[in-house]
Amino acid sequence: MSVSIAQGTYRARPAHEAVLAFLGVPYARQPVGEWRWREAEPPATSTLTVDADAFGPTAHQPRDENERASFQPQGEDCLSLNIWTRGPRPDGRPVMVFIHGGANVSGGSADPLYDGHNVVRDNDVVLVTINYRLGPFGFLDLSEVGGPAYARSRNLGLLDQLAALRWVRANIAAFGGDAGNITVFGESAGGSAIMRLLGMPLARGLFDKAIIESGGPANIRVKGYPKADDVPAGRALTREMMQEAGVTDLAGLMALPAESVMAAAAAVARRRGDTMGISTWGARVDEVVLPDDLFGNIRRGANPGVKVLIGTNEDEMLYFRLYDRDFERGLMREYHATATSMGRPFGKVKALADRYIGGSSDPMRYVDFAGEFWLRQPSILLAEGQSHHNDVFMYLWTWDSQVPGLGAAHAIELPFVFGNLRDQSAVALTGANPPAELSRRIQAAWTAFALTGTPTAGGETPWPRYTPASRATMILTDGPWRVVDDPRGDDRQILREMFDVDTR
């Protein structure tokens, strides 16, 4: 089957189980050559017919055994998306657009874990996955060396996501989707991206619902620290990287091979004590693309028309045992030595953190604190803010992995969301025989939310709205789901005081 739009005609991969896949469809002019580090622009119009049967290149990134996309072909020509659909329908199906995680330095839509076939086979939706620029290609501030044309280069990764959403609004009807019913969903850095989009005026009107799975702090401020001034910091990082690369101007940067850009970026991150690059590269507050007080913006109604489903996992940070089997003890040592958690400082409010830790010598208490500090408490604050404007639903994932030591770790819900339980990445997270029925139930809830705006699915416990008064939270596990009001409320009251969010 083929679909024609203004930029050309795209021929799908042969249908399998009534599902069509259009892979590697460009949503923007590719940022190569003179367009490196420039904002995404709409793709050119064309009358060509193209076989859309292979994923586009993955954004440049280091190889990572836990990020399968990093082993796919990489390139700067990475601004593409993939569509799974049952084909055209006059009234259109709900559209779900997935933004992958990877700490803004890794990941990609070619990861087999994110294949949308099973979701669309079993649920009446159109599913889209996107790539966006990462690391130094997505978050390098060239405003000082490049002038006005590069004024927003520090947040190109976010602007790529906006370009993809604009493409979906404009074109998805041709692929059987309802352009008036778009749900964005994402996990980890993808969830953080959606948190940022919710606080950005630039994103208004591009999506109708949002599912945020284990989104991170998304530039939330910690009390006691001065208002973020990321523009000078971003420019200083650029100067440091240019020095590392041995170039003195924009022309020198533009002439660097991609591999040299990545090598210089990695060297700078290591020198800063950031071996994975995750605290060096990422979205920066600039008051142009990204407002300073995102969470305050959300509370004031930056995107009031968006319904939200948001949640975290019970043992988020145990995921990092995949990288370091002694992770929890290292986290405890870091806490006491530097008043940081995974590099993120909290020293100005350490009294609150100490109150939460309670003098414990159990390393797991520090893992738990990191999950609260990085993920759960920011998610609660976002839910509170958006609940003043629209329906919000909260979950807590509690099903434990069959892999010893992982518990209900970060990302463990993803195999269930996509129904790809036998994938290599899924097995590494869940073990070899996870409950397939839980996947069916999760998909039913996620797609019900996309269709109706409520995640209550047939046969399940009714899912109440989250409000600051009730704090109703659905406990997701393999067994009956149940609603708990304000789980771990005493902890919440301690930890929320760590964050500086304007609640006016």
Active site residues: 188, 316, 410
Residues paired with 21 in a beta bridge: 13, 84
The torsion angle over the Cα atoms of residues 137, 138, 143 and 146, rounded to 10 degrees, is 30
Q: Is the dihedral of CA 425, 430, 433, 439 positive or negative?
A: negative
Q: In angstroms, rounded to a whole number, what is the distance separating the alpha carbons of residues 305 and 204?
A: 9
**What SS3 state is found at 417?**
helix
Q: In angstroms, rounded to a whole number, what is the distance separating the alpha carbons of residues 97 and 409?
A: 23
β-strands 80-85, 126-130 pairing: antiparallel
**What SS3 state is found at 132?**
coil
Structure tokens at 378: 């920011």
Q: Are 175 and 94 in contact (CB under 8 A)?
A: no
Q: In angstroms, rounded to a whole number, what is the distance separating the alpha carbons of residues 181 and 89?
A: 14
Q: In angstroms, rounded to a whole number, what is the distance separating the alpha carbons of residues 216 and 379?
A: 8
Structure tokens at 8: 């050309």
| Closest by CA position to 29, among listed 143, 138, 160, 136 | 160
Q: What is the CA radius of gyration of the chain?
A: 22
Q: Are 207 and 165 in contact (CB under 8 A)?
A: yes
CB within 8 Å of 49: residues ≥ 6 apart: 2, 8, 9, 10, 11
Q: At what angle do helices 363-371 and 350-357 cross, to 10 degrees?
A: 130
Measured in degrees and rounded to the nearest 5, phi and psi for residue 216 equal -85, -160
Containing 8, the helix (H) or strand (E) segment is strand 8-16
Measured in degrees and rounded to the nearest 5, phi and psi for residue 186 equal -165, 160
DSSP assignment letter at 62:
-
How far is CA 66 from each of CA 101, 219, 238, rounded to the nearest angstrom? 12, 25, 28
Q: Which residue has the tokens 């795209």?
A: 10
| Closest by CA position to 464, among listed 402, 406, 383 | 383
Helix residue ranges per DSSP H, 70-188? 117-122, 135-138, 143-146, 156-171
